[in-house]
């Protein structure tokens, strides 16, 4: 059970990693746009935060497998903890097979069906990323898809890990893990909200008050 941060802000990633609870990072072009810097430079900074055994997803773009592979080659120069993130398309799967045959870690993104997840596993992907929130936006059940893929992989002893993405609410995190997700990648604010519960706050306040009262009696 792993938690990744879906983020390109190096300061936030550094802070979150300092908790000892973050196992990796996912990025995408939209997050890189927010960072406003050269993506390779940002990825180098993120990569340096994590051990070589971690996973830092670097998403490539291109219309053809050849274009994606060329970009992947550039990103792989950063370090061994770089995972190449590819779109789940015909060309993306072609690139995935080529990279996985060379023992490169690949995260297949924009997965919206169990059928796509089957092809990703066949292509040797290390991770598949079903988008829970985007499916829910279309009135489909993203958690059900996570469960379907996890069941398929377990039945056939597939090594590809299910990485739940597009997490919009705290309650989706335990729901994804409950049905078999190996990883949840979370926006920074969702990660922070995992800590919080009103009953924890009120219980702690009561214990603190009682402790203070006890000290006054002694």
Active-site residues: which are they?
85
Contacts 24+ apart (CB under 8 A), 193-199: 194/170
Residue from 86, 81, 83 nearest 66 by CA: 86
Query: CB neighbours of 56 closer than 8 A, spacing ≥ 6?
Result: 24, 25, 27, 43, 46, 47, 50, 81, 82, 83
């Amino acid at each position: 059970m792993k938690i990744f941060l879906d983020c390109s802000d190096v300061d936030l990633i550094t802070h979150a990693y300092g908790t000892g609870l973050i196992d990796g990072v996912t990025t995408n072009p939209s997050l890189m746009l927010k960072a406003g810097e050269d993506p390779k430079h940002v990825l180098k900074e993120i990569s340096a935060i994590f051990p070589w055994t971690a996973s830092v997803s670097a998403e490539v773009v291109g219309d053809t497998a050849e274009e994606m592979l060329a970009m992947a080659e550039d990103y792989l120069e950063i370090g061994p903890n770089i995972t190449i993130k590819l779109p789940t398309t015909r060309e993306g799967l072609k690139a995935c097979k080529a990279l996985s045959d060379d023992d490169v870690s690949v995260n297949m993104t924009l997965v919206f069906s169990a059928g796509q997840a089957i092809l990703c596993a066949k292509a040797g992907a290390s991770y598949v990323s079903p988008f829970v929130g985007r499916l829910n936006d279309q009135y489909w059940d993203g958690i059900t898809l996570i469960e379907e893929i996890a069941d398929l992989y377990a039945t056939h002893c597939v090594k590809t890990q299910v990485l739940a993405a597009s997490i919009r609410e705290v309650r989706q995190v335990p729901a994804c893990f409950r049905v078999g997700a190996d990883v949840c990648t979370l926006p920074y604010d969702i990660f922070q909200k995992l800590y919080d519960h009103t009953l924890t706050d009120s219980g702690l306040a009561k214990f603190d008050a009682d402790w203070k009262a006890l000290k006054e009696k002694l």
